[in-house]
Chains A and B, each alone.
Chain A
Amino acid sequence: MTIIIYLIPVALALGLLGLGAFVWSIRSGQFDDMQGPAYRILDNDDDTPA
């Protein structure tokens, strides 16, 4: 059972990694527009503005 001494921190670290990614994605504005990106991907024109 001593394995849990390693497993719990590993599980927590992985969870924190996901949490960090979530916070980063909010901060970088990925949740600001929930509708536009769904349409942008359909537009395969090379001229699409950055």
Chain B
Amino acid sequence: MTAVVPALPGCPSGLAPAAARDTKRGYSGFVRNVGDERAIDLIVRGAKCGGCLSKIEKSVFALQGVTQARLNLSNGLMRVRWTGELGADRIAQTISDLGYGVAAQAADPGADDKAREERSLMISMGIAGFAAANIMLLSVSVWAGHGEMGEATRKTLHALSGIIALPVLLFSGRHFFRSAWAALRKGHANMDVPISLALSLAFGVSVFETIRGGEHAYFDAVVMLCFFLLIGRFLDARLRRQAHAAANALAAMQISAVTRLNDNGSAVSVAASDIAAGDRILLAPGERAMVDMRILTGISDVDESLVTGESLPRTFSPGMTLHAGAINVTGPLRGEALKVAEESLLSQIGEMLEAGEQRRSAYRRIADRAVSIYVPFVHTTAVLACVGWLLLGASLPEALMIAAATLIITCPCALALAAPVAQVVAAGRLFRKGVYLRSGDAFERLADVDHIVFDKTGTLTLGTPKLEGIQQNGCPVPLESTEAAAMLADAASMARVSHHPLSRALVAIAGPGTVLEGVHEIAGRGLEAEVDGQVWRLGSAGWTGAAAKGALHGPSLWLDQGVAPAVQFRFVDDVQPGAAEALETLRDQGIGLEIVSGDQNSVVASLAEALGISDWTGEATPQEKVARLERLRADGHRVLMVGDGLNDAGALSLAHASLAPGAAIDISQSASDAVYSGGLEAIPVILRVARKTRSVMRQNFALAAAYNVVAVPIAVTGHVTPLIAAIAMSLSSIIVTLNAMRLQIEN
């Protein structure tokens, strides 16, 4: 059996960008012994399609001794089992070499709890659904046999319903009881309090009626209510678990080994958490920095894309500070740890994410506000009805029965469905437009937006360099000319050995071709080779000895072949197609636009000018991005953040609402409310749908309230039968659902 070695790194369908390769080390600490086999759990990022699945699984399975390799495409968790001498680092390296991000899965008790909660909600939902179907069967018989059915038959059917409903109440209903009890103990009420009360009162009254041989039992209402509400709960739990998994993925990135240099010069591999400030560290080419460090010796190109969002590597030399998360590309670097791992940039971004989550969960949704009105209203009405009937001379069971009926018929079904249904329908509509929504309440926040902050690279621009022009001696060489083709072929024959993004961009234009013998890469400078006694150089202007005269600004590669003047290959990071139109639409809606980027001021300024945006900030660190958002918030703005890099993640989670493009790294995608594919034209569409969704949600709450205005008098006057309760419950839910369906219609 042979491993499938694909030509292109990353997802073959292009659904996710290929991850940067780095050297994998320190995975042996995560290996477990299972019987006589060994096992490890890995988190794989960037696997999106069936091609990824078979590519990764087959390559790992082809390794010596691997007995099981299974990747869960939904959460990116990969389980590998093997026997023999194979090292865990080798497995991680194999996946990394395929172009996927990989990290060891740390023990995360939080994730287990969440998975268990979701599973238990699913089982509860299944049981409630089963019971609802079976009790409905019996209830319909009772309703249909009204007036003809004998008391004994009715009593039997009621008793059977009760027997089916009891486990549902105890098992499926426990989610509501537990939450209501927890809230009551803290001295406040939540939605689960009226639900629990309605469930237990309805059940109690029904048992009483059954024993008495009465005509009405509400077991069907109890389980139906349970079933509907559990569906909502389950969807909610699933969304929250996905959000938690994102934070976990960030934590997993921090778990890795660092090479520490001891005083006697020997190198030891230690866990990143064991590094103290002041320790000497060796960062080999291909390795990812785990702590912030200051460079002492060595020069190298460093890929900081994860930290700053900037796609081009920067050259680092002694004295410069390297942040955790950056990958060393060319030469070895020795440095001094500035902080311990917990204080490094990566951890700080993790903390920012958490802070943002908390801020966001404090947002009072329309549903929350509706509940705060609904709960006191319904309870007061029920109590008043009970007291009123007692005063009018009704017996205590009769009065209690009416109070219970009030609670059941004002059941929060329509209320519980009003927001989620609208969100699901709107999310479906956006999904067909290539927008994937991460949280349901995002619509409400997106609808509020009055100011948008954009990241530059990868958001307003494409984020990958593209060859714009060739120039020699100050004269442009037309790209279509045979001369240009020859220059390109020569440059590409050297560039093919390099991982530098500019080299790759050059090769992408040149297409397939030969590779020059003896090309070597010099960190921070470029590529060098000897051809027929001449030294060929491809790299920076200073190194190739190119005349700066007439040179154009911007990222460039210079080709010096020793004889003629050096050739300049100039690259640009193109503006996203359709960006100008999209920004114009947003401006027409009176929304403020702003760019906050980690890139150089000059680059940001020229882009801002080209797009007609007057507010811009360049060279912003992740903390400064967050600070800028805080300031805007303090000024009373509802800010939408659009960004893709790890440096944006903190800002994304802190903004009132946030969006990430489909090519963004996983952490940014999870920190944002929605992920859009394609260009910026998606943003006006998202905002329009969000505003429409908010208005439909408001209508739904108004409908639910109107329904109660009709239902409450019927209940209070004592005219509610189980049939009326079931019809009212379904009717209100159907009306709310139908209203939400209007969101499907495009206008």
Contacts and interface: CB of A to CB of B under 8 A. Distances in A.
B247 interface: no
Q: How many residues of A sit at the interface, in one of the four size bands?
A: 20 to 34
B475 to A, nearest CB: 53
A19 B171 CA distance: 14
Contacts of A8: 138, 160
Given A8-B160, A11-B134, A23-B126, A39 B49 contact: yes
B264 interface: no
Contacts of B74: 32-36
A19 B167 CA distance: 13
Contact of B126 (A12, A19, A33, A38): A19
B363 interface: no
Contacts of B73: 33, 35-36, 39
B48 to A, nearest CB: 9
Contacts of B58: 45, 47-49
B50 A15 contact: no
Contacts of A45: 54, 58
B57 interface: yes
A28 to B, nearest CB: 11
A43 B378 CA distance: 56
Given A15-B133, A32-B74, A45-B54, A50 B126 contact: no
A3 interface: no
Interface string A10-33: 011001101100110011000111
A29 to B, nearest CB: 9
Contacts of A49: 57-58, 60-61, 66, 68-70
B160 to A, nearest CB: 6
A18 B126 CA distance: 10
A27 B118 CA distance: 12
Nearest to A47: B1
Interface in B52-107: 53-54, 57-58, 60-61, 66, 68-75
A36 B53 contact: yes
Given A47-B1, A49-B58, A31 B122 contact: yes
B79 to A, nearest CB: 11
A10 B66 CA distance: 48
A49 B122 CA distance: 29
Given A12-B134, A12-B164, A47-B1, A32 B50 contact: no
Interface in B1-60: 1, 49-50, 53-54, 57-58, 60
A31 B71 CA distance: 14
B208 interface: no
A36 B71 contact: yes
Contacts of B53: 36, 39-40, 43
B72 A32 contact: yes
A43 B72 CA distance: 16
Contact of A48 (B57, B126, B130, B160): B57
A19 B127 contact: yes
Contacts of A22: 123, 126, 130
Contacts of B60: 49
Nearest to A23: B123
B50 A39 contact: yes
B734 interface: no
B123 A26 contact: yes
Contact of A42 (B50, B123, B127): B50
Nearest to A18: B130
A48 B134 contact: no
B174 interface: no
Interface of B: 1, 49-50, 53-54, 57-58, 60-61, 66, 68-75, 119, 122-123, 126-127, 130, 133-134, 137-138, 153, 160, 164
Interface of A: 1, 8, 11-12, 15-16, 18-19, 22-23, 26-27, 31-36, 38-40, 42-43, 45, 47-50
